[in-house]
């Protein structure tokens, strides 16, 4: 099994990653908010890619997992910088990006920033612009006042410890929105979404589908699947979609 290595970025961050050699394009997995590269989907897809002889790379954003920094110091832009550093310094040639939840937003930012490198895209419960459309839009007046006064608010999570949402995360998110301006994806794209997802509603997946522009874009709804999208059937669905995209790259 490949060992964890570390990339020292120009921004002074130490990013943990695991890279598996194989046939390209490299499959790059982008995790969700407060998730890390040891998650079920990341590890299962790595094992599948290795069995298929495919190059694969998973990593932890700063403030996540084994990488340096604190989660509460991070932002969408910071994690975008981490992703760019991984692609620019560790990956040769084309990239097929698989993004889960917040990683779906990051995958769209990456495709916009490196259109010549990203040759395929698969997202799982993609959550673009969630800091604005999810958190900020859902905050009460009291929570907005608390955010302004304290610099953060605490939100419960059904998946992990409570989320501390900082004012910087909200403000920086506004500088990286992707649903407010045209977004062209000139590569095969497959969006996956569970109908029982309570974190990202199906309507958001449809909104993303309608917003992006491209000739080979599909949305697949999986009845009964939740936000984790990580049971055996869901994992097989992700693998199938990766194969579809690989065949069309």
CA 64 vs CA 29, 46, 116, 223, 227: distances in Å: 14, 19, 28, 31, 19
Name the active-site residue from 35, 129, 227, 230. Answer: 227
Residue 101 designated active-site: yes
List b or e across 112-131, with b for residues whose CB sees 16 or more CB atoms inside 10 angstroms: bebeebbbbbbbbbbbbbbb
Marked catalytic residue, from 35, 172, 197, 230: 197
CA dist., res. 66 & res. 38, Å (int): 10
221 vs 19: CA distance, rounded Å: 30
| Marked catalytic residue, from 101, 107, 172, 230 | 101
Catalytic residue flag (residue 149): no
- SS3 of 177, please? coil
Specify the DSSP class assigned to residue 159: S
* Active site annotation includes 100: no
Q: 7 pairs with which residues across the strands?
A: 15
Q: What is the DSSP letter of 223?
A: T
> Which of 234, 236, 109 is closest to 179 using CA atoms?
109
192 Cβ partners below 8 Å, 6+ apart?
Answer: 122, 123, 124, 125, 220, 222, 229, 237, 238, 241
Beta pairing partners, 153: 165
Would you please indicate which residues are annotated as catalytic (active-site) residues?
Answer: 101, 197, 227
């Amino acid at each position: 099994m490949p060992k964890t290595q570390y990339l020292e970025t120009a921004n002074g961050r130490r990013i943990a990653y695991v890279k598996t050699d194989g046939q390209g394009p490299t499959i790059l997995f982008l995790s969700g908010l407060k998730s890390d590269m040891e998650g079920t989907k990341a590890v299962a897809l790595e094992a599948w890619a290795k069995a298929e002889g495919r190059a694969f790379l998973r990593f932890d954003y700063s403030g996540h997992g084994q990488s340096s920094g604190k989660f509460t110091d991070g932002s969408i832009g910071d994690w975008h910088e981490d992703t760019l550093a991984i692609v620019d310094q560790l990956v040769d040639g084309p990239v097929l990006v698989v993004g889960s939840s917040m990683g779906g937003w990051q995958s769209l930012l990456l495709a916009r920033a490196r259109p010549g490198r990203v040759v395929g895209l698969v997202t799982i419960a993609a959550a673009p612009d969630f800091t604005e459309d999810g958190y900020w839009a859902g905050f009460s007046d009291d929570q907005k006042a608390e955010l302004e006064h304290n610099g953060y608010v605490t939100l419960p999570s059904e998946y992990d410890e409570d989320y501390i949402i900082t004012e910087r995360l909200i403000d920086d998110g506004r500088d990286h929105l992707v649903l407010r301006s045209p977004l062209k994806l000139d590569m095969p794209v497959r969006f996956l979404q569970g109908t029982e997802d309570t974190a990202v509603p199906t309507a958001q997946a449809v909104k993303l589908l309608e917003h992006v522009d491209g000739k080979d874009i599909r949305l697949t709804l999986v009845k009964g699947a939740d936000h984790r999208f990580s049971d055996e059937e869901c994992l097989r669905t992700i693998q199938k979609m990766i194969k579809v995209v690989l065949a069309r790259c």
